[in-house]
Amino acid sequence: MVVILEELRRLLIPAGRSARDAVWNSNLLLLAIASGFFLALAASYATKSRQKMPPGPPGLPLVGNVLQLKNEQWFRFSEWRRTYGDIFTLNVLGQPMIVINSYAIAADLLDRRANKFSDRPLNIVGCEIMSDGLMLAFSRYGERWRRMRKAAHEAVNKVPAHGLDEHLEVEALVLARSWLQDPSAWDYHLRRTAANTMFSSMYGDVPLGEADAQFDFITQYNEKITRAIAPGSYWVEILPWMRYIPSRFAPWKRVAEEWYQRANDFYMGLFERVHERIASGSQPASFSSTVLQDTHRHGLSPRENAWLVAGMFGAGAETTAAAMSWWTLAMLAHPEAQRRAQNELDSVVSRMRVPALADKARLPYTMAMVKEVLRWRPVTPVGVPHGSVENDIYNGYFIPKGALIIPNVWEMNNDPALFGADAHSFNPARYLNEQGQLVSGPPDTRDDGHFTYGFGRRICVGKHVANNSLFIEIATCLWAFTLNNVKGQVVDVNAFHDEGIVVRPEPFQIEVEPRFPEAIALLSQECELRGRR
């Protein structure tokens, strides 16, 4: 912030004036700008506050509650729930932020009143600059978003035609083999597997190699934009007028523009390659080819199509890898759950073949593991913020147009009223009945059994793909080996590594023990049969 003010000050020094006069004049102008901005915010918030908004914690003059919002906000929101209730209001520099801690209220507002609460808040760096407003998950609500969403939904529903199941199974085999051969790099292998799964299914392209520059770029860009999207990551998100600072005087803006240009060239190049292969008859079925074939029905430009696929790719790769990292930690902390899943696999799959997605219906405990890890440690514990597109009244409370709506997914997923007294524990059996079969989840969870996939029109488009990916990776890994803790390492399931809107566990190590002598040989044989060496 100080650096940016200094840059503004240099811009404001008139030529030919003494340094003393220039500094005095520029300081007065900066003070006037800042004072006017904060007074406008305060006046705006005061006007809204005269109407009965949900109660909330007191804040400081002008800045409101912004200094109380630090890391691991979901814990703070859960604490405030006990004082202010299931829905409360925060003041972030004059911007109303409505926090929802109750699944019933989230369902009422974000699902049943989706026409009013499907916007995204203004995000200048991550959404407007780094992706030009074209990342589906973060785009503002409007006609273009609706067309892109419809195109994505239709393409995902044609997943079987993409050969996606085959991609998922092959990458799960490669992951299990990689962990057996190189367990010290288990997290790297997870990220590469997630990227390869999405890369193959989105573009029908060859898998990314270990030293692939494309994989490096994808990883770096996803990390950058995931951090940029998190509310308050940059001062410009709090002081929007800063977007008008010329790039040469704003390093944050210049870097974001450079990342956009690189990403646009990269994703347009991938999409154009698909187009060329379709023309030559050499393109395998993929999400991109489906989008291209249906483009006349959705009225999307080539750039919109390219970024639609890029957004699906980035969201799927980042969140699936994060969920698998939490599952890995859960296996170290709960060996009894690991043994139960392995017993199920042995009875259904045996050790004569590898698991397949076709086994899902006969592996209910393994499927319950997928639901439980997404509930127990949601990778987006405060969700992606929604935005209100018009004023609304809920239970007598006023919710103004333009308010940020934060669903505290962590609190909903850990609600004892829904998930029992052991809601904070990892227990896949909560999703099984007495006969050991999967049961429907709590009300308003759409059979997901949790709230991690979001709400309303912003619910994750690819959630069925994510479920299948997690299932086959978990099943294949537990079929092949047992995960053990490293001697002397303390397993801390409450150590969170915040990567913007996505949260992973703090780094840890694992030991991998083959469950039977032929495990590696069978995995390698299957990989080779399916074209992966």
pLDDT, tens only, 450-481:
999 999 999 999 999 999 999 999 999 999 99
pLDDT, tens only, 102-132:
999 999 999 999 999 999 998 999 999 999 9
Mean residue pLDDT of the chain comes to 87
Higher pLDDT, 219 or 468: 468
What pLDDT, on the 0 to 100 scale, is given for residue 210? 59
Distance CA 436, CA 493 (A): 27
What pLDDT, on the 0 to 100 scale, is given for residue 36? 47
> Helices in 58-98 by DSSP H: which ranges?
73-84
When pLDDT is cut at 50, 70 and 90, the band that residue 316 belongs to is confident
Mean pLDDT of the 427-440 span: 94
Q: Looking at the predicted structure, is the pLDDT value of residue 401 above 90?
A: yes
Rounded percentage of the chain residues whose pLDDT exceeds 70: 89
Q: Looking at the predicted structure, is the pLDDT value of residue 373 above 60?
A: yes
Q: Looking at the predicted structure, is the pLDDT value of residue 35 above 80?
A: no
Distance CA 174, CA 119 (A): 39
- Classify residue 22: in a domain, yes or no: no
Contacts of 274 (CB under 8 A, 6+ apart): 203, 204, 283, 286, 288, 289, 292
- Classify residue 473: in a domain, yes or no: yes
Distance CA 423, CA 376 (A): 8
Q: DSSP states of 513-532 as a string?
A: EESSTTHHHHHHHHHHHTT-
What pLDDT, on the 0 to 100 scale, is given for residue 23? 36
Rounded percentage of the chain residues whose pLDDT exceeds 90: 66
- Classify residue 225: in a domain, yes or no: yes
Q: Looking at the predicted structure, is the pLDDT value of residue 190 above 90?
A: yes
Residue 154 and residue 296 in contact, taking contact as beta carbons nearer than 8 Å: no
What pLDDT, on the 0 to 100 scale, is given for residue 221? 92
Q: Are strands 496-499 and 502-505 parallel, antiparallel or unpaired?
A: antiparallel
Residue 198's H or E segment, with its range, is: helix 186-203
pLDDT, tens only, 378-399:
999 998 899 999 999 999 999 9
Q: Looking at the predicted structure, is the pLDDT value of residue 411 above 90?
A: yes
* CB environment 243-281: b (16+ within 10 A), e (fewer): bebeeeebebbeebeebbeebbebbbebbeebbebbeee
What pLDDT, on the 0 to 100 scale, is given for residue 178? 95
Q: Which amino acid is at 407?
A: P
- Classify residue 174: in a domain, yes or no: yes
Residue 169 and residue 472 in contact, taking contact as beta carbons nearer than 8 Å: yes
Higher pLDDT, 518 or 48: 518
When pLDDT is cut at 50, 70 and 90, the band that residue 7 belongs to is very low
What pLDDT, on the 0 to 100 scale, is given for residue 211? 58
Q: Is 152 helix (H, G, I), strand (E, B) or coil?
A: helix
What pLDDT, on the 0 to 100 scale, is given for residue 10? 44
What pLDDT, on the 0 to 100 scale, is given for residue 208? 66
Report how many domains make up the chain: 1
- Classify residue 79: in a domain, yes or no: yes
The mean-pLDDT minimum among 18-32, 199-213, 274-288, 309-323 falls in 18-32
Q: Are strands 392-394 and 397-399 parallel, antiparallel or unpaired?
A: antiparallel
Q: Looking at the predicted structure, is the pLDDT value of residue 28 above 70?
A: no
Contacts of 122 (CB under 8 A, 6+ apart): 128, 140, 237, 240, 387
Q: Are strands 386-387 and 404-407 parallel, antiparallel or unpaired?
A: antiparallel
Q: Looking at the predicted structure, is the pLDDT value of residue 165 above 60?
A: yes
What pLDDT, on the 0 to 100 scale, is given for residue 26? 38
What pLDDT, on the 0 to 100 scale, is given for residue 204? 82
- Classify residue 5: in a domain, yes or no: no
Distance CA 272, CA 260 (A): 18
Residue 285 is part of a domain; what is its CATH number? Answer: 1.10.630.10
What pLDDT, on the 0 to 100 scale, is given for residue 246? 95
Strands (E), 246-316: none
CA distances from 132 to 47, 126, 259 (A): 33, 9, 11
The mean-pLDDT minimum among 144-153, 293-302, 488-497 falls in 293-302
What pLDDT, on the 0 to 100 scale, is given for residue 29? 40
HSE, side-chain direction, 13 A CA sphere, residue 32: 7
Q: Looking at the predicted structure, is the pLDDT value of residue 305 above 90?
A: yes
Residue 110 and residue 389 in contact, taking contact as beta carbons nearer than 8 Å: no
Higher pLDDT, 167 or 359: 359
**What is the C-alpha end-to-end distance of the chain, expressed in Å?**
51
Q: Is 31 helix (H, G, I), strand (E, B) or coil?
A: helix
Strands (E), 70-200: 87-92, 95-100
CA distances from 195 to 215, 275, 301, 469 (A): 7, 21, 25, 12
Distance CA 132, CA 261 (A): 10
Contacts of 488 (CB under 8 A, 6+ apart): none
**Domain limits for position 276:** 51-529
Mean pLDDT of the 96-104 span: 96
Distance CA 8, CA 128 (A): 22
What pLDDT, on the 0 to 100 scale, is given for residue 160? 59
- Classify residue 453: in a domain, yes or no: yes
Q: Looking at the predicted structure, is the pLDDT value of residue 258 above 90?
A: yes
Dihedral of the alpha carbons of 375, 380, 383, 384, in degrees to the nearest 10: -150
Higher pLDDT, 30 or 435: 435
The 3-class secondary structure across 381-441, one letter per residue, is CCCCCEECCCCEEECCEEECCCCEEEECHHHHHCCHHHHCCCCCCCCHHHHECCCCCECCC
Higher pLDDT, 355 or 27: 355
When pLDDT is cut at 50, 70 and 90, the band that residue 284 belongs to is confident
What pLDDT, on the 0 to 100 scale, is given for residue 127? 93
What pLDDT, on the 0 to 100 scale, is given for residue 157? 83
- Classify residue 233: in a domain, yes or no: yes
What pLDDT, on the 0 to 100 scale, is given for residue 31? 43
Mean pLDDT of the 175-183 span: 96
